[in-house]
Structures are given as structure tokens and as C-alpha cells.
Structure 1
Amino acid sequence: MNRFSRMPFFVQLMLVSGGAMLVPAFYALILREWDDARAFLYPSVLVCSLAGFIAIALFRPEATEARDGRRDRDREGRNQLLTLLGTYTALPLVLAVPFVEATQDTTFLNGYFEMVSALTTTGATLFDDPARLSRPEHLWTALVAWLGGLFAWVTAVAVLAPLNLGGFEVISSRQPGQSDARASQITRIAAAPERMARFTTKLFPIYIGLTLALWFALAMVGSPAFVALIHAMSVMSTSGISPVGGLTNTRTGFVGELLIFAFLFLALSRKTFTADNPRPDAPPLWRDPEMKIGLALMVAVPLLLFLRHWVAVLEVSGDWTFGRALSSLWGSMFMVLSFLSTAGFESMGWEEARLWSGLQAPGVLLMGLAIFGGGVATTAGGVKLLRLYALVRHGEREIEKLVSPHSVGGAGANARRIRREGAYVAWVYFMVFAFTIAGVMMLLALLGLDFERAAIFTISALTTTGPLVRVAGTDPMSYAALTDPMKLVLAGTMVLGRLEMLAIIALLNPEFWRR
């Protein structure tokens, strides 16, 4: 383990990717699908061998490594951000090899797009018909997304948090991209590969334990074991990947949706599965800023949607039944949490609400929820709830000052910092996010997409909510209908959405490179 943690970061990822290819290979052997087994086994041997040769070539004794580590400490943050960028852009080239070999009827560009979508936990697929992919291929896509979710967990606390990026800048007094001199010992002393290995050892048991628990629960309520496994991994990674086309095609019904609903709460706040500073007098979870604003949205938005459908029923059709009303309310609650966490699963009650009232689903509302996103250091994409919370608190304080200009804001130094510096950084991020949406939409428009489709595809990719394209528009849309240049633009947009624009801006800062 010590030798593995001292390897270059990208070499570690290549070894993990090569080892992960053995999972669908063995599953294909069990199913006696020999072509799929060879398609995953041979690239696994090739990738692991190549990573091993690179590790041997780059091996350095501990004394040399310690001396070079002290010399490169100032460049550590920059190198790790470059590695993250390279991981999301170059690693899918490796991951796409077995996928393309297994499908045999798609181009390498389509395979690359599929793997970028999976690794960034977007869940956008070019295969609208799940029957086009075999079970090992479905398993590989879901496994890449599941590992991408774990990667997002680990890099958030091991790379982005020490650099004050990824949403942590809202609650910190440091500038984005500036390392913390008061950080923990492992953050200040350990090299980044070792730091990644330490945090992976800490978070992986939690991640896999929750996945196994949801898999077992879904299987117990009637879902086939394979489908339950894919859905469990998709929920934990908030990728929305399904081997049967969504939750509406499973046999779990309301109980299955309720289980998934409970586990999607993990994407609202990092404190649902870990604690920054565990102590006996820690405040309860419901007082966490991200959880408070998430719960507020989950109460207010479903009520507005329910009243909208209810008024339409009374005024137009009059087809009012208590059961259909409850189903509509549940569908609205599930969809709010599903798209707030950027998972994108569709509830059976969502379609029931449309049939009940005759009104189309408000796709713009779902797009707005996806833009809000989930919690900091979770698998969710979007702007993040902590930034939204900072802007809300700043707005409340400004209204108080309009009513009482000489009032003094309380709640302590942390709350004042969030309302001032935190709100400022959050607003800058919102503006960068909005300009990115505008820029990508302009590129897609130049490539031939109309305004509505360009907006939906852009927000779907930038918020890492791939299933959004099926429910946000008047008619379902498909990534398969896009041209190759459009796919490349959206693949880059997915990387921007997962890595976040502040990290890209930090890489473009001359001060970040000067030392």
C-alpha cells in the first residue's frame, strides 16, 4: 500500500481502471458471453502492464523523493489541478477501449463521449435503447460512473479543500486557490498521491457499504439483482444510469422510489456521510446550511407544483381523486430531490401528475433545480447549495439594512464571513457559471442547434444531469441525434461542470504558476 501511494497519481488511476475492467470481464464469463469477456480482459492486461512499466520507470528512492517533494511543494496544488483536468479528459480514452471493443457497432468518439459522461457522473448516453448494450457493457458504464463518484468524493477533500476550491471558498477566509497553513498534518506534509490514498482508505468503506445496503434493499422489494445493483451504483454516484431505461420500468413501485429517495439525501450535504470536525456537541444535521436550504426547496417547490396541477384539475377536467393527488405530490417531491442532487431519475408519479391535470411538466423548473445542485464535496453537480445559501443570507441581511439601516448583523464571525466574503465569491461563481452557459449555447447554436435544445443540452452537461434532456423539453431529446462536433463540445462542458470553473480560473492565474 505504501508503494502504491507513492506512485504518480495518473499511474494509480490507470491501475485502478485496469483492475476495474476485470469486473465486467468475469461477469461476462459467468454469462458465457465470450466476446465481451475478451473485450474487457485484454485491455485490462494491457492497461495494467503499461501502468506497471511507467511506475517502474518513474520509481525514485525515498530519499530522492523526499528531497524533490520539498522542492516541488509550492507546485503541488497546480500539479494536482492539472492532473484532475488530465484525468477527466485523458483517462476516458483508456476507459473507452473495452467499451468500443465490446459494442462493436459504435465509433471511438461515441465511446469516448460515453466514458466522459460516466466518469463525470453525468449519465448522458448515446444509447437510448438499453437493449443495444449487453449486461457487461451496462455494468462497465455504471462501474465507471460509480468510481467517478468516489473520485469526486476523494478529490474534493484531498485536493480541492486544501486549495480552497469546490465550494469550500464560501466558508473560508482564504482566497480561492490559496493553500491553508493551518490545515491538518496530512494536508500540509503528505504528497498528493499519498493524501489521495489516505482519504480513499477512509471514504471507500462508507461508499461501498452504502451501495451494498441500497442494492440489498432494492433487491428485497422486487427489483432483479442486476438492475438493483446498477441503480444502487447510479444513486450513490448521482449519475442516473439505468439498464432498463429508468425507474418507471422496474417492479419496485413506490417502495423502491422511497428507498432511492432516502439515499439521494446523501447528495445534499457532505455531513450526511462524514464530519469535518467530529465532536459530541456538534449541531444536528437539519441545522446544516446546505441541508436547510435543500429541505426548504423540497417543501416549497412540490407544493407549488401540486397546487398548479390541482387548480388545473378543478378548472378543466374535474377528475379529482385522493389517490391521484397523493401520487402527484409524491412525484413532485421525488423529482425535486432527484434533480437537485443532479441524479435525474424520473418518478412514476411525475407522469401521473401530467395525466391527472393535462398540463405539461415544467421543464424550466427542473433545469433550475439542476443548476442549484447539491452539497459541497458530494457527487452532485451544479452551483452547489452552500453558494446558494450564502447568497440567500446576504439577501436577507440587505433587506434588514433597508428596513433598519443602523442594525447590526449577528450570528457570529462565521455567519458574517459567509454573508460578506462568502456571498461575494458565490456571486462571482454564479456569474462565471452563467457566462459559461451562454458561451456553450453560442457554440452549439453555431453548430446548428436551436435555442431551446441548445439551452437544455448545455445545462444538462454543465450540471452533470444527463437525464435532464428527456424531461426538460416539450418532447424528449436524445444525445444520439447530435453531430460529432456537438458531442465534443458537450464532453468538454461535462468536464467543466465536474471540475468547476474556479479551478480552471485558478490554473489560468499567473500567480498560481509564478512559484
Structure 2
Amino acid sequence: MIAPLSRLPLILLLAGIASLAMFVPALHALMHSEHTVSRSFAYSGALGLIVIGLVALAMGGNARREASDLDNLLSLFLAFAALPLFLALPFYEGLRNTTFLNAYFEMVSSFTTTGATLFEMPGRLVDSLHLWRGMVGWLGGLLMWVAASAVLAPLNLGGFELTATAEPGQVDDAQGRFQRAGSGRRVAQVTYVLAPLYVGLTGALWLFLAIAGDRPLVALVHAMSTLATSGISPIGGVQNAGSGVGGEMVIFFFMLFALSRLTFSSDTVTSQRPGLHNDPEFRLGMVIVLGVPLLLFSRHWIGAFEGQDVEDLPTALGALWGALFSTASFLSTTGFESAYWDEARSWSGVGAPGLILLGTALIGGGVATTAGGVKLLRVYALYLNGQREMERLVHPSSVGRAGARSRRMRRQGAFVAWIFFMLFAMSLALITVILAALGMTFEQSIILAIAALSTTGPLTQIAGEVPIALSLMAPTAKLVICAAMVLGRLETLAIIALVSPSLWRD
């Protein structure tokens, strides 16, 4: 059963999984007497399974070579760009008071784990549609977990171009045998290992949030959004949840899975990396998560001293927690806002607190996680290069790459990281200019571009002085943001690999 499925194109398998997933909101809507919504999901799922079954049957009789890694990369691109057309069909038919473009935008945003929504009023959608948005984002997060090891790592993309294992002769035997396995078999093996872990972590967080006081649906969507770093919420954010600070604390610890892949798997690294405590991504991420709130907290205390409010300890602790949670949330590109973020902003007196969130979202989380952004490993590679250049100023004849951490980076790691950073900056500038030409203000354009490229949709509601009304944008601007979200999810280097003729030659 598994062997024939592994020979099918990856995009076909993903469409089949999406069709099966549609029956979950269909059953949920049926239980809540939302018959129109239930029929839209059930009919779309059944139609999808029939069409996919016919296509698979037609392909089964022909001798077909096994899909290559580049074929899977193309399927990954089609999954984020074209599959939302199918995912939007039941959403559009169930809602019935929006355009199909809006439904497509919503599904692209969910599947790329961006989480930007055109429906700022949560009450406009019934619970089953909120469940579908959360499920689509959750499945997109699982796809990135699997694709990182099964598709991007063998091609040295997605951050793996920086590691020493990307150099010839630097990979151990076990990893080499794994990469030489067939692409279909590799996808099946990685899914078999990671899917139960992904489901188990989501179920555990769901249980904790439900115990803390959230409604079952709210707890489930927030749990799926945390693991997928999509920031999708059926109630407008965790600050409106019944779980309160206890729920935020639980979510905070689960967001740490987005700082490094070593927090949940070691399938993309070799034995050269001894553990999480020595992982540069996790260490750098914790420095940012703890350092930024402490810097803001220092400003809080100075402001409190000037205002003769030094003894207001509960407010100070609330402001510290609001800064800590929000920093971790936007660094992991989840985008949840703490209930105490307003206190943190007023306590610090920072004129433009949204810039802090924009900066942390641009840095992003770990390589091969569901987080977006530039990624911590690339920032670490640039830091090592700067440190090395300063050492050469003192000791011009010194030998580099002497430490174990430095040897994990390839010899041209900083150069590759700088190339990606420049491509990211050029993409950011291009999208900003296009959005400005389409009638958006400069502030709105830069926030939308960063939110799309870093897959942190809630920035559109938090980073600016006033929230951006995405539903009022022109259709062309919505399509531009959709393209930017796909680009931010797959990254520029992967897109270049798809259009490079030399990489497709046998």
C-alpha cells in the first residue's frame, strides 16, 4: 500500500490528504447544525478524492521514473501556490458572502503559516470555518517539518547550505546513505517519524489549554497555530482566551520548538552536534528571547522611577511577561500578542514598539522548523564572520575554524548567508515598492512586505499605529501579498533552484 503511494507525485498526495481533512470540519459543522457548511466540505472532499483517485489510476498503468528531489521541490512550490485554490473551495461555498479571491488569500495565508486574515471580526466565521483555517495552517506546518528533511536538506536549501555537511566529504556514512535513498521512500520515512510527534505535541498543548480554561475549539486551534507558528485564532488572539496567563505560559514553552529543529528531531544533523545546549540556533534564540525583554524592562524601571511608581510590582511583572511572551511569539513568527503587551508598551514608553516586533520577526526562528524569517543560523553565521574579522585585526596570521562550533559552518557559510540576506532585502524592497505603487502608504507597504516574507501575518494588526484593513485592499495588492507569502515560505534560493536550467539537467 505504501510503495504504490510513494511513487505518486508529492502534490497529488498532498491534495489527497487535503481532501480527507475536509471531512473533519464537515462532521463538526454537521454536529452544530451548520448544514450548508457541512455539505460544502463533504462535497469538496468527496470530489477531490474521486478526481485524485482517477488521476492516480491513470498514472498507475504507465512506467514512471521515481520523482527526483527537484520534482518534489516543484511539488512543494505548487502546494503553496496552487493547492490553496482547492482548499479555498469549501471555505468560499460555506461562507457565501465573500469573493473567491478572498478565500484564496485566506488559504494561502493559512497554508504558508502566515496567519494574516481578511476577517478581522472573528464572529463573521462560524466555528467550523475557524477550525478549517487552523487545520490548513497545522497541515502546512507539518509539511515544512517533513519537507525540510526529505526535500530541502538533500538539495542543500532552506538553511542547509550553511552547514559543513553541505561540503563534499563532510557528511557521515549514515547521513549519506539516508540521502541516497529514493525521494518517495525518504518522504514516507520522515513522515512516519515526525507525524506522530507533531500530533502528540499538538494534543498535549490542546489538553493543557483546555484544562487552563479555554473552550475545546479555541484550545485546539491555538494548539495547532502554536505548533505551526501560524498565529491563527478563532477569538482574535490568545489575549482574549479564557486560559489567561496560565495558557500563555504553556504556549510560551511550546513556541520554543520553533527555535531549533534539535528541540524535536536530529534527523538533519550528524553526530558532530552534541546536543541542544550546544546548538547555536537555540542559544542565540534564547539570548534574544531573554535579552530584548530585559532591555525593555530596564527602560520600564527608569520610567517608573521618574513617575514615582517604583513600588507597583504587579504592573512591572505584567509588563515583563508581556514583553517576554511577545518577543518569543514574534521571533518564532507565530504572532500571538500577550494580554500584557499593552502594559509593556505603556510601561516602557517606547515611541514605536512595533519596530521591535518587526525586527524579531525578520530574524525568525530555526532552520527546518515551521518558523519563517531570515533564520537564526544565518544570523549566527554572519556573527561568526564578524567575530573572525575582528580576530584578524589583532592576529592577522591566525587560523580560523579552530572551534567546534565554527567547524559546523561551511567555509563559505557567511558568504552564502550574506547572499541570502541580500536576496531577502531585495525581495522586501521590491514588494514594498509594488504595494506602494498600488496605493498603500509607505508604512503599510513595509509592514505588509515584512509580514508576508517572514510569514508573520499578525504584524499587520500590531506593528503599525493603526491596524491595516486587509479586506479593503485592491485585488492586485492581495495577489502580490499571496506571491510574497509563498516566496517567504519557500525562500528565494529555492525559487532560484526551480528556475535554474543547470539544476534540472541529468
Q: Same fold (TM over 0.5)?
A: yes
State the partner residue of 2:299.
308
State the partner residue of 2:375.
384
Work out which of the residue numbers 163, 167, 170 in structure 2 matches 1:171. Answer: 163
- State the one-letter code of the partner of 1:222: G
- CA shift, 1:406, in A, is 2.7
Q: Conserved in 2, the CA contact under 8 Å of 1:305 and 1:332?
A: yes
Tell me the SS of whatever aligns to 1:58. helix
State the partner residue of 1:86.
78
Q: Describe the superposition over 1:453-485 as per-residue Cα deviations: whole angstroms up to 9, x where unpaired.
A: 100000000000000111111122232121110
Tell me the SS of whatever aligns to 2:164. coil
Q: Describe the superposition over 1:237-287 as per-residue Cα deviations: whole angstroms up to 9, x where unpaired.
A: 000000000011112121111000000000000000011389999633121
Flag the 1:149–1:278 CA change in 2: closer, same or farther, 3 A.
closer
Matches within 5 A, 1:419-498: 420-498=411-489
State the partner residue of 1:365.
356
| Matches of 1:280 and 1:162, distance apart in 2 | 17
| Matches of 1:358 and 1:290, distance apart in 2 | 31
Flag the 1:462–1:311 CA change in 2: closer, same or farther, 3 A.
same
1:52 matches 2:44 = no
Work out which of the residue numbers 489, 502, 506 in structure 2 matches 1:511. Answer: 502
State the partner residue of 2:241.
250
Flag the 1:381–1:282 CA change in 2: closer, same or farther, 3 A.
closer
1:217 matches 2:221 = no
Q: Conserved in 2, the CA contact under 8 Å of 1:170 and 1:418?
A: yes
| Matches of 1:357 and 1:187, distance apart in 2 | 50
Matches within 5 A, 1:212-291: 212-276=203-267, 283-291=274-282
Work out which of the residue numbers 120, 123, 136 in structure 1 matches 2:115. Answer: 123
1:36 matches 2:37 = yes
| Matches of 2:334 and 2:274, distance apart in 1 | 28
Tell me the SS of whatever aligns to 2:340. helix
Q: Describe the superposition over 1:175-199 as per-residue Cα deviations: whole angstroms up to 9, x where unpaired.
A: 79xx999854343231x33322221
1:100 matches 2:87 = no
Flag the 1:318–1:150 CA change in 2: closer, same or farther, 3 A.
same
Tell me the SS of whatever aligns to 1:383. coil
Q: Describe the superposition over 1:328-368 as per-residue Cα deviations: whole angstroms up to 9, x where unpaired.
A: 11111111110000000000121112344554551111111
| Matches of 1:58 and 1:186, distance apart in 2 | 27
| Matches of 1:236 and 1:357, distance apart in 2 | 30
- CA shift, 1:500, in A, is 0.6
- CA shift, 1:506, in A, is 1.5
Q: Conserved in 2, the CA contact under 8 Å of 1:330 and 1:349?
A: yes
Flag the 1:281–1:369 CA change in 2: closer, same or farther, 3 A.
closer
- CA shift, 1:439, in A, is 0.5
Q: Conserved in 2, the CA contact under 8 Å of 1:164 and 1:172?
A: no
State the partner residue of 1:8.
9
State the partner residue of 1:143.
135
Q: Conserved in 1, the CA contact under 8 Å of 2:303 and 2:347?
A: no
| Matches of 1:253 and 1:9, distance apart in 2 | 41
State the partner residue of 2:283.
292
- State the one-letter code of the partner of 2:284: I
1:187 matches 2:171 = no
Give me the identity figure in percent: 50
Q: Is there any run of 5+ residues in structure 2 with no aligned partner, and where?
A: none
Flag the 1:411–1:447 CA change in 2: closer, same or farther, 3 A.
same
Tell me the SS of whatever aligns to 1:464. coil
| Matches of 1:90 and 1:280, distance apart in 2 | 38
Flag the 1:506–1:414 CA change in 2: closer, same or farther, 3 A.
farther
Tell me the SS of whatever aligns to 1:329. helix
Q: Is there any run of 5+ residues in structure 1 with no aligned partner, and where?
A: none
Q: Conserved in 1, the CA contact under 8 Å of 2:453 and 2:485?
A: yes
- State the one-letter code of the partner of 2:154: P
Q: Conserved in 1, the CA contact under 8 Å of 2:157 and 2:494?
A: yes
State TM-score, norm by structure 2: 0.95
- State the one-letter code of the partner of 2:141: G
| Matches of 1:278 and 1:15, distance apart in 2 | 31
Matches within 5 A, 1:323-338: 323-338=314-329
Give the stretch that moved more between structures: 197-206 or 111-120.
Answer: 197-206
- State the one-letter code of the partner of 1:503: A
| Matches of 2:238 and 2:354, distance apart in 1 | 19
- State the one-letter code of the partner of 2:448: F
Q: Conserved in 1, the CA contact under 8 Å of 2:382 and 2:417?
A: yes
Q: Conserved in 2, the CA contact under 8 Å of 1:117 and 1:124?
A: yes
Tell me the SS of whatever aligns to 1:348. coil
1:343 matches 2:344 = no
CA RMSD of aligned residues (A): 2.2
- CA shift, 1:387, in A, is 0.6
Tell me the SS of whatever aligns to 2:119. coil
| Matches of 1:30 and 1:277, distance apart in 2 | 42
Flag the 1:513–1:175 CA change in 2: closer, same or farther, 3 A.
farther
Flag the 1:182–1:428 CA change in 2: closer, same or farther, 3 A.
farther
| Matches of 1:116 and 1:487, distance apart in 2 | 11
Tell me the SS of whatever aligns to 2:409. helix
| Matches of 2:404 and 2:235, distance apart in 1 | 50
Q: Conserved in 2, the CA contact under 8 Å of 1:394 and 1:420?
A: no
Flag the 1:105–1:180 CA change in 2: closer, same or farther, 3 A.
farther
Q: Describe the superposition over 1:73-112 as per-residue Cα deviations: whole angstroms up to 9, x where unpaired.
A: xxx2332222111111110000000000010000000000
| Matches of 2:98 and 2:328, distance apart in 1 | 34
Give the stretch that moved more between structures: 80-89 or 18-27.
Answer: 80-89
Q: Conserved in 2, the CA contact under 8 Å of 1:227 and 1:242?
A: yes
State TM-score, norm by structure 1: 0.93
Give the stretch that moved more between structures: 318-327 or 500-509.
Answer: 318-327
Tell me the SS of whatever aligns to 1:14. helix
Q: Conserved in 2, the CA contact under 8 Å of 1:181 and 1:188?
A: no
- State the one-letter code of the partner of 2:31: I
Work out which of the residue numbers 363, 388, 402 in structure 2 matches 1:397. Answer: 388
- State the one-letter code of the partner of 2:81: T
Alignment size in residue pairs: 503
- CA shift, 1:174, in A, is 3.9
Flag the 1:291–1:243 CA change in 2: closer, same or farther, 3 A.
same
Q: Conserved in 1, the CA contact under 8 Å of 2:167 and 2:410?
A: no
| Matches of 1:180 and 1:410, distance apart in 2 | 19
Tell me the SS of whatever aligns to 1:297. helix
| Matches of 1:387 and 1:306, distance apart in 2 | 28
Q: Describe the superposition over 1:115-134 as per-residue Cα deviations: whole angstroms up to 9, x where unpaired.
A: 00011000000000000000
Give the stretch that moved more between structures: 489-498 or 418-427.
Answer: 418-427
